Amino acid sequence: MSEIPIPLANYVHLIRNHASPYYEIGAFLMQDMATRYHEFGNSSGIIYAINPRIVHEEIRKNMKSEKLTTVNVCRTILALLYGAKLNEKRDFFVTTTSGGRRNYHVNVNSRTLNLMAAMF
């Protein structure tokens, strides 16, 4: 974890210790990625797009927490990706909309799923 920036290292710690809502965000993403991966027949991999605003809305439907903000969703996503030691060019990439919002794209395959599952 020494190469992970301090704020993200704190989020990695929160995910691993099942702190709410960070753990729930990570678990939601892992479950959805695994479902999509298996739906496509465990092919060589799929690109899974993560829009933090949509994730925030989906999680908010099931839980109410003052800590559940779009900023925390973004940081939790990055903590999940960096904490699982995914490579930023090979395993995931970040795009920015013209309005400045970020979307995260993960190359989901058996290796990346296993690395992310180790976070839990």
Q: Is 88 a domain residue?
A: yes
Q: What is the pLDDT of residues 93-109, one digit of tens each?
A: 999 988 889 999 999 99
Q: Is 1 a domain residue?
A: no
Q: Is 106 a domain residue?
A: yes
The CA–CA distances, whole Å, from 84 to 32, 48, 87, 97, 105 equal 17, 16, 9, 25, 15
Question: What's the CA gap between 48 and 32, in Å, rounded?
Answer: 9
Q: Which helix (H) or strand (E) holds 27?
A: helix 22-39
Domain total in the chain: 1
Q: What is the pLDDT of residues 14-43, one digit of tens each?
A: 999 999 999 999 999 999 999 999 888 766
pLDDT at residue 4, as a whole number: 83
**For residue 83, what is the domain's CATH number?**
1.10.10.10
The predicted model scores a pTM of 0.89
Domain range spanning residue 89? 6-117
The CA–CA distances, whole Å, from 108 to 20, 61, 118 equal 25, 25, 15
